[in-house]
Amino acid sequence: MVHKKVSPGKIALYTVTIFLALLWVVSLIWMILVSFKPSGSGVLSVRSWFSPPFSIDNYYYVLEHAPVILWIWNSVFVATVTTICVLLICSMAAFAFSQGRFPGYRIIFWIIMAGLMVPGEAILVPLYILFRDLGLLDSYEALIFPSIAVPFGMILLKQFFDGLPKELYEAAKIDGCGTYRMLFVITLPLSRSALAALGIFTFLGSWKEFIWPFISITDAVKMTIPIGIPFFNSEYNADYTIPMAANVIVSVPAVIVFLIFQKQIIKGVSFSGIKG
C-alpha cells in the first residue's frame, strides 16, 4: 500500500484550520450556554457553563425590554428586499458582460473590479452626506440602496454565465429569442446554484451589517437587530448572560440559514471559479 506524503505546509494549514474551527465552535457553545444562565451568574470558568441552574428568563427580559421582534422584522425585510434587488441587478449586469460586447465593456468591467479594492468604511462619510442631502436617513431606503450594487455578485454570476454552453444561446437566437428571454428563460434557470450562493451571501451580509445602519439610523422603529444589541451590552457590562441571550437571537437564525443552504453555497462558489 502506497502512502502519500503530506507536505509540512499542508499539515500546518490543516492544523490552523482545525484550531480556528474549534475556536469558533467553543465560542458559539459558550454564548448559547451562558444565555441560559441566571442573571449575575459566574460564567468565566468552563465548569460554570455546564453547571445548573439554567433558565430562559434572559430571553423573556430581552423580548420584554426592547422591541426585538420589530428589529427582527426590520432585519428580515431589509435583507429580503436587498437580496431580491441584488439578484435582479447583478444577474442582468453579469449577463450583459458575459454575452454582450458593447463599446468600452472591458474598461467598465475593470472599473467594477476596482470597486472590490475599496473598503466600505472608506466611503461612509460621503455616503452619509449623500443620504443626508437626499433626506433618506432614518429610512429603509438608507439600509437597502447602498447594498444593491455588489461588484462581487456581478463577477460571481459572470464567471458562471461564461461557463454555460454557447450553443444554447446560438440555438435560442435561431428560434427568435430576445435578450431578456435568453436571460430569464435560459440562463437563470441553469444558474440556480450560483444564484442561491449569491442570495445567501447577500442575505447573511445584510442581516449582520452593523456600521452603516448604526450611522444612518437613529429611530428605534427603523433599527435592525444588530444595532439594537448594543443596548444590552452597554447596560449590562458586568453581566454576560443578558447580552449573550440577545446575541443568540441575532446569530442563531444566520447559522440555521447557513446550515440549511451550505451545499448550495459550496456548489455555487466552486462553479464560479472563485478560490478561497
Residue 178: pLDDT above 90? Answer: no
Total count of domains within the chain: 1
Mean pLDDT, the chain, whole residue set: 81
| pLDDT (0 to 100) of residue 249 | 83
40-49, 90-99, 205-214, 258-267: which has the minimum mean pLDDT? Answer: 40-49
Residue 188 lies inside a defined structural domain of this protein:
yes
Residue 2 lies inside a defined structural domain of this protein:
no
Q: pTM for the complete prediction?
A: 0.80
| pLDDT (0 to 100) of residue 234 | 54
Give dist(CA 214, CA 255) in Å, integer.
Answer: 23
Share of the chain above pLDDT 90, in %: 12
Sequence-ordered alpha helix ranges (H) in the chain:
8-35, 46-50, 57-65, 68-99, 105-114, 124-133, 140-144, 151-162, 166-174, 179-181, 188-190, 192-208, 211-216, 225-228, 230-235, 241-272
Residue ranges making up the domain that contains 193: 66-228
Residue 185 lies inside a defined structural domain of this protein:
yes
Residues 126-173: tens digit of each pLDDT: 999 999 999 989 899 999 998 887 788 888 888 888 888 888 888 888
- For 228-260, give the DSSP string: HTHHHHHH-SS--HHHHHHHHHHHHHHHHHHHH
Residue 56 lies inside a defined structural domain of this protein:
no
Residue 119 lies inside a defined structural domain of this protein:
yes
Q: The domain that contains 78 carries what CATH number?
A: 1.10.3720.10
The sign one gets for the Cα dihedral 102, 106, 108, 109 is: positive
Residue 59 lies inside a defined structural domain of this protein:
no
Residue 43 lies inside a defined structural domain of this protein:
no
| pLDDT (0 to 100) of residue 46 | 66
Q: Which residue has the higher pLDDT, 126 or 233?
A: 126
| pLDDT (0 to 100) of residue 276 | 37
Residues 57-83: tens digit of each pLDDT: 888 888 888 888 899 899 999 999 999
Residue 207 lies inside a defined structural domain of this protein:
yes
Average pLDDT over residues 36-49: 69
- For 61-85, give the DSSP string: HHHHHS-HHHHHHHHHHHHHHHHHH
